Amino acid sequence: MTAHFPFDNSYATLPERFFTRQSPVPVATPKLIAVNTALSDRLGLTLPSDEAALAALFAGNDLPEGAAPLAQVYAGHQFGGWSPQLGDGRAVMLGEVIAPDGARFDIQLKGAGQTPYSRMGDGRAWLGPVLREYIISEAMAALGIPTTRALAAVETGEVVLREGRMPGAIFTRVASSHIRVGTFQYFAARNDTDALQSLLDHTIARHYPEAEGPSGLLGAVIVAQAKLIAAWMGVGFIHGVMNTDNMTLSGETIDYGPCAFMDIYHPEMVFSSIDQFGRYAYANQPQIAAWNLAQLATALLPLMPDRDAAIEDFTEAVNGFAARFDTEWHRVLRAKLGLETEEDGDAALAFDLLNRMAQGGADFTQTFRALSSDTPQDAGKVFAAPVAFDPWLVEYHARLGRESRTDADRITGMRAVNPALIPRNHRVEEAIQAAVSGDYAPFHRLNSALADPFTDHPEIEDLQRAPTEGERVKQTFCGT
């Protein structure tokens, strides 16, 4: 069977200055690592059955019929500093497919070779970041968090030079689009109002058909990002590199570089080796999202006939992000605590627990999972010093006394939002190390376990366990 992708390439019909037509640069000896057949079915793809053909397809050596490969251009603020031109420096979009349910998705090969936007880079990726993105983006999807997805991973058979000679790999990413805050910034910085208008129309048609004009789009993205950041924080996720080029208009998580799930809770937790000042620390994420949204608002200004009035409206809209985020975050926290009704003190109760967790060195995931049982006192065992937890439990019991749901229903609800399993850094690193030595079993085992994160499976207890001090991974690196 030959590959068939139901292509309908709309980005490729935008003006030529949105991208450069660019084919993937073929690789030496592609070898299949993984293909996500559940996702492929969801997209309505027909895939070849033999491995060599699959490897050639997902390496970019064979293009599926109807592909219109291109590299997108964008700009962005990286760590607050302006980069007037970025773009797909190591990624090539094959095109967009329309899934059987009518939804539109980009299919992109990451690590597909140099493009006009590669600057000094080689356009390639090594195995480590490819497997990281595969594992973590699929874990996020299983956790119910909006995200780009992993369709496939292949080895290229070529060496990539990083700290050493690393095995090259290519990741196939699926996204509802790759339109970023930085895409708008690119055209705004050039005063290219025609391009901005085309991008606005394209983005609204694609993601928010009910939105009206620039302010409608801005409002919709503010809501989507408030929900997204609250969902991240609800599972202890730290993106690590929330540059404006890594923030989508769709509200999907994108660009899994130095991201990480916290083990021990601390609001100032940072993993990224390049985030020296903690700009993208766990608890800073809402403020950074608001900062990025202010950049989006600025980029939309050239489309507004009355600039002064627009500045006033957009400022108010962006300032509204904080309250919107709080609403979403409090909703997430109430669900994590199993509170169905809403009381004024609920957020304070949740923050009190978080403070105690930070002081008591408690594992984020395990604390909430232990609370999701008929023995919530077990959560105390997650604390280095359980005394810090006990007074909180008294308050919590009092609060639960004012709920009308049965304990059984509450526990079922809590177990559906407080995962038993997250992609812990040390397990992700372990899977990568094994793969580099040619053993993909830990990668496949971790992936399949993460597909069902809300159920306890005794046979994967080792993957659920928090790392010992010696196992703990404290730093993560950019996905280059």
Residue 155 partner contact from Mg ion, ligand AMP, none using kind-dependent CB cut-offs of 5 to 8 Å? none
Q: How far is the CB of 182 from Mg ion (least distance, A)?
A: 8
Q: How far is the CB of 214 from ligand AMP (least distance, A)?
A: 25
Per CB under 6 A, the list member of 60, 64, 69, 87 interacting with ligand AMP is 87
Size of the site for ligand AMP (CB under 6 A): 19
**Strand ranges (DSSP E) for 112-236?**
125-126, 149-161, 165-175
Residue 87 partner contact from ligand AMP, Mg ion, none using kind-dependent CB cut-offs of 5 to 8 Å? ligand AMP
- Helix 441-450 crosses helix 425-436 at what angle (to 10 degrees)? 150
- The DSSP letter of residue 23 is P
Q: Do the Cβ atoms of 426 and 473 come closer than 8 Å?
A: yes
Binding piece for Mg ion, criterion CB under 5 A, among 189-197, 250-258, 404-412, 432-440: 250-258
Which of the following is catalytic: 62, 88, 106, 245?
A: 245
> Which residues, 6+ apart, have CB-to-CB distance to 411 below 8 Å?
338, 372, 373, 374
Distance of CA 132 to the CA centre of its chain: 12
Q: How far is the CB of 116 from ligand AMP (least distance, A)?
A: 11
Q: Which two tokens stand for residue 292?
A: 């990025």
Contact between 247 and ligand AMP per CB under 6 A: no
3-state helix, strand, coil in the chain (%, to 5): 45, 15, 40
Q: Do the Cβ atoms of 50 and 160 come closer than 8 Å?
A: no
Report the DSSP beta bridge partners of residue 462.
none
Q: In terms of CB distance, is 121 or 345 closer to ligand AMP? A: 121
Among 230, 375, 218, 438, residue whose Cα is nearest residue 310 = 218
Per CB under 6 A, the list member of 30, 236, 257, 302 interacting with ligand AMP is 257
Q: In terms of CB distance, is 44 or 89 closer to ligand AMP? A: 89
**Considering only residues 207-246, where is the footprint of Mg ion by CB under 5 A?**
246
Kind plus residue range of the DSSP H or E element containing 214: helix 213-234
Q: Which two tokens stand for residue 234?
A: 């609800």
Q: How far is the CB of 444 from ligand AMP (least distance, A)?
A: 25
341 burial type by CB count under 10 A (0-12 exposed, 13-18 middle, 19+ buried): exposed
Q: In terms of CB distance, is 93 or 420 closer to Mg ion? A: 93
Indicate if 245 belongs to the active site.
Answer: yes
Q: How far is the CB of 140 from ligand AMP (least distance, A)?
A: 17
How many CA within 13 A on the CB side of residue 113?
14
Q: In terms of CB distance, is 46 or 118 closer to Mg ion? A: 118
Per CB under 6 A, the list member of 62, 96, 138, 255 interacting with ligand AMP is 255
Q: CA of 147: how far to CAs of 63, 135, 138, 229, in Å?
A: 25, 12, 8, 12
Q: In terms of CB distance, is 254 or 431 closer to Mg ion? A: 254
- The DSSP letter of residue 32 is E
Q: Which two tokens stand for residue 73?
A: 């251009």
Q: How far is the CB of 174 from ligand AMP (least distance, A)?
A: 17
Among 70, 87, 68, 63, residue whose Cα is nearest residue 2 = 63
* CA–CA distance, 57 with 32 (Å, rounded to integer): 10
| Closest residue to Mg ion using C-beta atoms | 255
* CA–CA distance, 54 with 35 (Å, rounded to integer): 8
Q: Which two tokens stand for residue 405?
A: 């749901």
Residue 328 partner contact from ligand AMP, Mg ion, none using kind-dependent CB cut-offs of 5 to 8 Å? none
Residue 286 partner contact from ligand AMP, Mg ion, none using kind-dependent CB cut-offs of 5 to 8 Å? none
Q: How far is the CB of 275 from ligand AMP (least distance, A)?
A: 12
Q: How far is the CB of 20 from Mg ion (least distance, A)?
A: 17
Per CB under 6 A, the list member of 86, 231, 288, 422 interacting with ligand AMP is 86
**Considering only residues 26-45, where is the footprint of Mg ion by CB under 5 A?**
none
Residue 88 partner contact from ligand AMP, Mg ion, none using kind-dependent CB cut-offs of 5 to 8 Å? ligand AMP
Q: In terms of CB distance, is 118 or 197 closer to ligand AMP? A: 118
- Per-residue binding string, ligand AMP, 113-152, x by CB under 6 A, is ----xx--xxxx----------------------------
* CA–CA distance, 37 with 151 (Å, rounded to integer): 8
Q: In terms of CB distance, is 146 or 302 closer to Mg ion? A: 146
Binding piece for ligand AMP, criterion CB under 6 A, among 221-229, 238-246, 401-409, 468-476: 238-246
Residue 121 partner contact from ligand AMP, Mg ion, none using kind-dependent CB cut-offs of 5 to 8 Å? ligand AMP
- The CA-based angle 414-328-149, given to 5 degrees, is 75
Q: Which two tokens stand for residue 284?
A: 């800073």
Q: How far is the CB of 340 from ligand AMP (least distance, A)?
A: 40
Contact between 255 and Mg ion per CB under 5 A: yes
Q: Which residue has the tokens 């730290």?
A: 238
Site residues for ligand AMP per CB under 6 A: 86-90, 117-118, 121-124, 241, 245-246, 255, 257, 478-480
Active site residues: 245
Site residues for Mg ion per CB under 5 A: 246, 255
